[in-house]
C-alpha cells in the first residue's frame, strides 16, 4: 500500500481506530476523506487538519447513501487510491431479548451489507489501488454476548479472502486489519475502557504496512487468527466464562 502522497477514504474515520488511521495517514503526507453519520464530529476532525482531511456525511446503512457517496467521490475525488472499510457497530444482546432480531439486522446491514456494497462500488473506480477491510479477532473465536457481531466479522473475514482473489485481476491489493479488543467507544462509551489504547495498534499496523503485510494482527488477535484448535478453544473459554 502506498503510504505517502495518496488519497485515502476511511469509513468511520472520525473516531476510534478510524481516527487513529486518519491521523497517522495525515502525518505521513496523505489526504484523508472521513465518512460517518455525525457531521459535527467529522467537521471537528477536518478542522484540525485543514486541507488534509475532508469530511463527508453518509449513513452507510442506507443503499442510497452508499451510492451517493460513490458518485460524490467519482465526481470530486477521482484520484482516490485507497478505500478503508472500517465503520462498524457492535450490539451486546441475547437471543431471548425482545428486540434481538431488529438489532441483529442492524449489525448485519452495517457490518456486512455496507462493506460488500461499497467494495462493489469502489472497485469500479479506475484510480483505486488498495482496499483495506477491518475485521476482528472475533472473526476467529466468537464472544457469545456479541454473537451476531462476531458472526458478521467471520463473514467479513471470509469475504475478504475471496475479495483478494476477485480483485487481483484489477490490480487492487486487499489488506485485512484484524484488531483485538481496543479502547474505543465501540458498543457504547466505556464498554472497551479496560482494553489497550488504539495508539499501540496503529504503530504496529503501520510497521506491518511498511513491510508489505496484507493480514495484520496485534496482541490477542495474532493468536486468534493463527492459533490451532487448542489455542482457539482456550480463547473461547476466556471470552465465554
Ligand atoms: N475497538 C475494538 O475493540 C475493535 C476490535 C476489533 C475490531 N474493531 C472494528 O474496528 C472498526 C472501528 O470500530 P472502533 O472500535 O473504532 O469503534 P467506533 O469508534 O465506534 O467506530 C465506529 C465508526 O463507524 C462509524 N459508523 C457506524 N455506523 C455507521 C453508519 N451507519 N454509517 C457511517 N458510519 C458509521 C461511526 O461513525 P458515526 O457514529 O458518526 O456514524 C464510527 O466512526 C469496526 O469495524 C469495529 O468492528 C474494533
The sign of the CA dihedral 80, 56, 196, 199 is: positive
C-beta 18 within 6 A of ligand 1: yes
Residue 149 annotated in active site: yes
Residue 229 confidence class, pLDDT cut points 50, 70, 90: very high
**DSSP designation for 196:** P
3-state secondary structure 125-177: CCCCCEEEEECCHHHCCCCHHHHHHHHHHHHHHHHHHHHHHHCHHHCCEEEEE
Sequence-ordered list of residues with C-beta below 8 angstroms from that of 79, at least 6 positions apart, any chain: 7, 127
CB–CB of 220/137 below 8 Å? yes
Check if 60 has its Cβ closer than 6 Å to any atom of ligand 1. Answer: yes
Please give the distance, rounded to the nearest whole angstrom, from the Cα atom of residue 169 to the centre of ligand 1. Answer: 30
Report pLDDT digits (tens) over 56-78: 999 999 999 999 999 999 999 99
Long-range contacts from 213-216, C-beta under 8 angstroms, 24+ separation: 213/175, 214/164, 214/173, 214/174, 214/175, 214/176, 215/175, 215/176, 215/178, 216/175, 216/176, 216/177, 216/178
Domains and CATH numbers, the chain: 7-239 (3.40.50.720)
133 close to ligand 1 (CB < 6 Angstrom): no
Distance CA 191, CA 104 (A): 19
pLDDT digits (tens, 9 = 90+) for 143-185: 999 999 999 999 999 999 999 999 999 999 999 999 999 999 9
- Give the mean pLDDT of 181-208: 97
Residue 32 parent element (H or E): strand 31-36
Q: How many CB atoms sit inside 10 A of residue 112's CB?
A: 17
Query: Residue with C-alpha cell 464530529?
Result: 41
Task: Please measure the distance between the N-terminal and C-terminal CA atoms of the chain and give it in whole angstroms.
Answer: 39
Q: What is the largest CA-CA distance in the chain?
A: 51
Q: What's the 85 CA to ligand 1 centre distance in angstroms?
A: 10
What is the mean predicted confidence (pLDDT) over 35-58?
98
- Average pLDDT rounded to a whole number, residues 135-149: 98
Q: Are 206 and 23 in contact (CB under 8 A)?
A: no
User: Is 20 near ligand 1, meaning CB less than 6 Å away?
Assistant: no
Average pLDDT rounded to a whole number, residues 200-222: 98
Give the ligand 1 atom nearest the CA of 90: 47
Residue 214, Cβ density class (10 Å: 0-12 exposed, 13-18 middle, ≥19 buried): middle
**Parallel, antiparallel, or unpaired: how do β-strands 173-178 and 31-36 relate?**
unpaired
User: What confidence category does residue 126 fall into, taking pLDDT thresholds of 50, 70 and 90?
Assistant: very high
Task: Locate the ligand 1 atom nearest the alpha carbon of residue 41 and give its number.
Answer: 40
Catalytic residue among 49, 70, 149, 218: 149
The three grid cell numbers given for residue 240, joined into one nine-digit string: 465465554
Q: Is 7 left (phi over 0), alpha (psi -120 to 50) or beta?
A: beta
Per-residue pLDDT band for 237 (boundaries 50, 70, 90) equals: very high
* pLDDT given for residue 120 in this prediction: 98
pLDDT value of position 181: 98
Residue 18, pLDDT score? 99
Give residue-wise pLDDT tens across range 111-121: 999 999 999 99
Amino acid at each position: 500500500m502506498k503510504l505517502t502522497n495518496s488519497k485515502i477514504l476511511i469509513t468511520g474515520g472520525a473516531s476510534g481506530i478510524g481516527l487513529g488511521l486518519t491521523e497517522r495517514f495525515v502525518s505521513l503526507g496523505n489526504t484523508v476523506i472521513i465518512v460517518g453519520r455525525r457531521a459535527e464530529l467529522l467537521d471537528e476532525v477536518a478542522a484540525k487538519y485543514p486541507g488534509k482531511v475532508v469530511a463527508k456525511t453518509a449513513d452507510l446503512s442506507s443503499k442510497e447513501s452508499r451510492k451517493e457517496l460513490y458518485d460524490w467521490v467519482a465526481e470530486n475525488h477521482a484520484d482516490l487510491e485507497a478505500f478503508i472499510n472500517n465503520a462498524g457497530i457492535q450490539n451486546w444482546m441475547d437471543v431471548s431479548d425482545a428486540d434481538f432480531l431488529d438489532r441483529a439486522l442492524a449489525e448485519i446491514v452495517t457490518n456486512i451489507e455496507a462493506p460488500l456494497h461499497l467494495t462493489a462500488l469502489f472497485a469500479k473506480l479506475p484510480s483505486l489501488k488498495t482496499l483495506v477491510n477491518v475485521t476482528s479477532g472475533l472473526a476467529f473465536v466468537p464472544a457469545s454476548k456479541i454473537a451476531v457481531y462476531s458472526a458478521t466479522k467471520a463473514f467479513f473475514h471470509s469475504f475478504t479472502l475471496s475479495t483478494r482473489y476477485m480483485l487481483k485481476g484489477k490490480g487492487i491489493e486487499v489488506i485485512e486489519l484484524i484488531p483485538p479488543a481496543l479502547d474505543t467507544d465501540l458498543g457504547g462509551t466505556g464498554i472497551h475502557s479496560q482494553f489497550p489504547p488504539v495508539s499501540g495498534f496503529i504503530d504496529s499496523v503501520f510497521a506491518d504496512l511498511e513491510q508489505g503485510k496484507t493480514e495484520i494482527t496485534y496482541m490477542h488477535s495474532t493468536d486468534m487468527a493463527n492459533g490451532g484448535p487448542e489455542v482457539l478453544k482456550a480463547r473461547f473459554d476466556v471470552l465465554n466464562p
